[in-house]
Amino acid sequence: MLKISPYKFSLFLIDFIILLISYYSVYFGCFFHNNWDTVSILFFVLSFVIVGIFIYNFYANNLYKLNVLLQRATQLVFIVKSYFYSTLIIVTFLFFLNFPYYSDPRLFLFIFILTSFTLISLSRLVFLRYFLGKIIKIRLPTTKVAIVGAGKSGKLLAAKLLLEDVSDFGIKLVGFYDDNLPVNSYVLDKYKVLGNVDSLVYSNGEIDEVIISIDNISYDSLLKMIEKLSNTRLIVKVNSELFKVIPEKIYTEKFGELSVINTTPTINNRLSFFLKNVFDRLAALIALILFSPFFLVIALMIKLTSKGPVFYKQDRIGLNGKVFKLYKFRSMTVFNGEDEKRKVEMIKFIKGEVTNKDKVINEQRVTSIGRILRKFSIDELPQLINVLKGHMSLVGPRPSLPYEYETYEAWQRKRTAILPGCTGVWQVYGRGQVDFKDSVIMDLYYIHNMSPWLDLKLILKTIPVLIFGRGGK
């Protein structure tokens, strides 16, 4: 089931139409010359590809987040940024492929970008609140929002929602749900407790979106609540100190200074898993073919600098706690048995008994070539074989060792709900910078927000992390 707020869907549709109209207006107005022989199905496919690139960059640069829509200066900065990246991609695209539709591709692109940028900026910065409000009121239903938790944080969130005046975007606060207060008791102004949390599961259209904002809740209880509510038709968001690492590392929606984290996938999970699996296998196969000469060079360097095999195989925990063999280039001296020193340090790190956020390794065992391989994560490239075999995904949570998994608390084991990944939210945004609990929260954030466009965003952001060796050790 598709779960997306009406105002976001409306905005996406407006952007899409403006970009498409700009494209066709520029082409048929300046480059067509009444020659219908040059127009084919491929021409229209190309127009949708180019518009799709812009829409993706709008999404990647947070242009569909409510707090961005409420701030004109921030929104203009993100529009300029989106146009910069989109133009870069399209110029590269047109450089390698020759299309007969444009007598002067550079002039066409310049006029199209100028036209669409002007129209997009005017629609968003000048007319957005007025026209979007009218469209929602006339054509689309209002998004009815309830806050789970009537304590201090829930009241503060409600006050911020009312202060931001989000009604222009079709968002209406209807009340609170709380297990500790009686139904119909007033919490803030005219807003009262509508029921307990369990009653939300059986709500029949009265509520569209919930924001969980509960004081003094445990990780396990919060995640169970998210899971319970996510299995309904509701859009589920969270405002909690337990998730504070997410807005610290990733741009999220905000009401005032309060961050709200979406935990509801925007597309059907089955479709998302299917697209992810197809892309993973295809991309891994292509990458292995392209990198094969590089693999041979690395293999030779490993053999010349230390004794032992080229590849290192290790038991790791995969989907639903199942064990699989993970492949890496060997970066350490051969050692029979478990590295007890590393095991003790890692268990302390998982339990929060040490504050060190660096990667836990035994430095004395790292080889000279291994130090370079680990710094730039080159040692992890053979994991593409695991992706091809279906044991891993390109993007996903970090695969743990069996003894790490045994140390996990129940809520931390939820990171095995999907295939582990070669890269992920933690590797891109938190590598060497966050403690263990925060790294799990970052993985759970990915699980609840998984989509093809988020995967693409994380893969692209992994490239500079590898090039500059950020957090590698």
Q: How many angstroms separate the CA atoms of 6 and 167, rounded?
A: 12
Distance of alpha carbon 288 from alpha carbon 384, whole angstroms: 7
pLDDT of residue 164: 75
How far is residue 97 from each of residues 90, 92, 111, 435, measured CA to CA in Å? Answer: 10, 9, 20, 46
Residue where a domain stops, chosen among 89, 104, 138 = 138
Same domain, 292 and 185: no
What does each C-alpha distance from 27 to 33, 39, 43, 55, 109 come to in angstroms? 9, 11, 11, 20, 10
- pLDDT, residue 460, reads 86
Higher pLDDT, 327 or 245: 327
Q: What is the DSSP string of 82-138?
A: HHHHHHHHHHHHHHHS--TT-SSHHHHHHHHHHHHHHHHHHIIIIIHHHHHHHHHHH
pLDDT of residue 384: 95
* Residue 373 belongs to a domain: yes
Pick from 88, 121, 138: which residue ends a domain? Answer: 138
Asked if residue 251 and residue 397 are part of one domain, the reply reads no
Nearest to 19 by CA among 120, 135, 99: 120
Q: What is the pLDDT of residue 267?
A: 61
- Displacement of CA 420 from its chain's centroid (Å): 15
pLDDT digits (tens, 9 = 90+) for 417-450: 999 999 999 888 876 678 889 999 999 999 888 8
User: Are 294 and 434 found together in one domain?
Assistant: yes
User: Domain count of the chain?
Assistant: 3
The CATH number given to whatever domain includes residue 239 is 3.40.50.20
pTM of the complete model beyond 0.85: no
Whole-number mean pLDDT of the chain?
85
Q: Which of 79, 103, 138 is the last residue of a domain?
A: 138
Residue 1 in any domain: the answer is no
Question: What pLDDT, on a 0 to 100 scale, did the predictor assign at position 271?
Answer: 76
Q: Does residue 438 sit in the same domain as residue 353? A: yes
Helix, strand or coil for residue 442? helix
Question: 129 with 163, same domain?
Answer: no
- pLDDT for the residue numbered 310: 93
Q: Are residues 278 and 352 in the same domain?
A: yes
Going by pLDDT thresholds of 50, 70 and 90, the confidence category of residue 34 is low
pLDDT per residue as tens digits for the range 75-104? 999 999 999 999 998 888 777 666 555 667
Residue 73 has pLDDT above 90, yes or no: no
- Where is 316: in which H helix or E strand? strand 311-317
Q: What is the pLDDT of residue 397?
A: 93
Q: List Cα–Cα distances, 240 to 89, 100, 259, 370, in angstroms.
A: 37, 54, 8, 40
Tell me the residue range of the domain where 40 lies: 6-138
Q: Read off the pLDDT of each residue in 367-376 and give the average, rounded to a whole number.
A: 88
Per residue in 288-302, pLDDT (tens digit) is 999 999 999 999 999
